[in-house]
Amino acid sequence: MRNGGARRAMAAAAACGFLMAALAACGDTRTEVRHGDVPRPGGPSGTARPSSPAKPTRIPGVGERMWQRIPLGTRQIVAVYGEGENSPDSTLVLYEKQGDSWQENGSWPAHNGKRGWSAHHREGDERTPVGVFSLSDAGGLLDDPGAKLPYTQDEEAFETPYYWDENHWHDFDYVIAINYNRVPGTRPDDPTRPLGQKKGGGIWLHLDHGDGTLGCVSVPGSAMRYLLRTLDPESRPVVVMGDKASLRA
């Protein structure tokens, strides 16, 4: 067991406060195949029936530029729709691919960085990076709730610093690391920053405390437990996040 004070300091420095400019992409270029229902003969008269509503072949609110960054094999998308470039308020929606169409499978209120979003993020700017990032590793202060992602439970590593406000004491009960300037396949609090410290890091999904974060995305505890039990490495989950205008561009 490592020294508690040192670990808490490392967790505080790594988690949610010191971030980087938005990573260009987290996946392959994809060509979207569009599907639609074709009217069929309606019976003996041969009249056509009205076509059924087309099933969504991509998630709403995401433009071509961002959509091209999603890996072809991805079947789970966590979309974070920010209310505005400078707003800490957002909505998180889980989408899962069924056949060739995407279905919504949960929606929750969320918060992002106190100062909003950035496509050119820097350490300490209190903004959340805009982009598409893979999700591969989880952990937390509490025992594994049944996560499908690799889960690291560590009471010292994920304990919030004693000087933080009481509202933040449970922020890291559960976390999912967002692969932004980090090494996928390592525990969420790994301090390695492949693009350098100035680019920031330690961007997580974690429990909400009712206000903006230092750069992470926060959701209610029920949402974190659901995401941990649902996100599956075999589905190559990613997070697509940013203010609504940036996502649509």
Catalytic status, residue 206: yes
Burial state string for 17-50 with b = 16 or more CB within 10 A and e = fewer than 16: bbbbbbbebbbeeeeeeeeeeeeeeeeeeeeeee
Find the catalytic residue in 121, 168, 206, 209.
Answer: 206
Find the catalytic residue in 16, 168, 209, 216.
Answer: 216
Catalytic status, residue 216: yes
Q: Tokens 């079947």 sit at which residue?
A: 75
Q: Which residues are catalytic?
A: 206, 216
